[in-house]
Amino acid sequence: MYTGLLHSHNLFVTLFFLHYVIKLVLLLTNKQEQLAKYSKTTKVPEMILSFGFLLTGGWMLFKGAAFTTLITIKLVCVFTSIPLAIIGFKKRNKVLAFIAVALIVASYGLAEVNKKEKTGAKIDTTTITDPIVAGKLIYVNKCQQCHGEIGNGGGSGAKDLSLTQLTLDEQKVMVRNGKNAMPGFKEDVLSDADIDAVLQYVATLKQ
Ligand code: HEC
């Protein structure tokens, strides 16, 4: 569910962004006539796109995407860019239009940084000899916020780990590389031994 939302959100954002890049290029190259024509023919699609991306974005927040500082800055960028874009293109003001499109780019960049930040810093488990204990420590710090205390997702939309059909190797790849809303955990955050440990702990969540 969450993943489907994220996909449609990304699609809406990409199309919306491309649409505005086209408009910006026409404006910057003084193609006033084409711009007027393009804006007129894309009026309804533009409405659908903006509605779609605001709706899917809002829905994701509602569904439990964490309200971090970055997300807040991102929202400010998005909501500043909208009036700037409307005024900028209406008044054919190149600077305003440019800033509006730049803000959309910035909020996209922030979304990527936000994804990266979700994995956080490395946890030292070297003094723990029992892999299940080490795995639990990692799980609580790195996985629980999305997958919930008992692995069932706790309503955040992440997959239920107690029901996973993936093999251990597939799970390792998933943790290392991530997929959609699941962030990839790189070597500097989780070593191979850490991933083995956390997946051993995850296996205990299966009833
Ligand atoms: C930011 C939220 C988030 C965090 C943090 C997170 N996950 Fe996930 N995880 C997801 C989402 C969302 C999916 C579903 C991805 C998809 O298939 O689109 C997922 C999928 C998985 C899957 C695959 C399940 C299946 O059956 O397909 C495994 C295994 C997994 N996560 C393990 C972990 C482990 C272990 C950690 C901690 C090291 C972790 N996750 C941290 C969100 C998260």
Of 117, 145, 167, the residue at which a domain comes to its end is 117
Residue 116 pLDDT: 64
* Whole-number pLDDT of residue 108: 76
| 193 lies in some domain | yes
CA distance 59 to 45: 21
- What are the pLDDT digits (tens) for 56-109? 888 877 765 556 677 788 888 888 998 999 899 999 999 999 999 999 888 877
Q: Specify whether 45 is located in the same domain as 79.
A: yes
- Asked whether residue 122 is domain-assigned, the answer is no
Pocket test for ligand 1, best of 71, 122, 145, 146 (most atoms within 8 A of CB): 146
Please identify, among 92, 117, 142, the residue that sits at the C-terminal boundary of a domain: 117
Closest Cα to atom 42 of ligand 1: 182
Q: Which of 75, 95, 117 is the last residue of a domain?
A: 117
pLDDT tens column, 134-147:
999 999 999 988 88
Distance (angstroms) between ligand 1 centre and the Cα of 145 equals 10
Do 6 and 103 belong to one domain? yes
Could you give the count of Cα atoms lying within 13 Å of 142 in the half-sphere of its Cβ? 30
Whole-Å CA distances, 176 to 134, 146, 172: 18, 16, 6
Overall domain count for the chain: 2
Quote the domain boundaries for residue 89. 2-117
* Whole-number pLDDT of residue 105: 85
pLDDT tens per residue across span 1-40: 566 777 888 888 889 889 999 999 999 999 999 999 999 9
Query: Which residues lie below 8 Å from residue 39, measured CB to CB, with a gap of 6+?
Result: 23, 89
Structural domain contains residue 37: yes
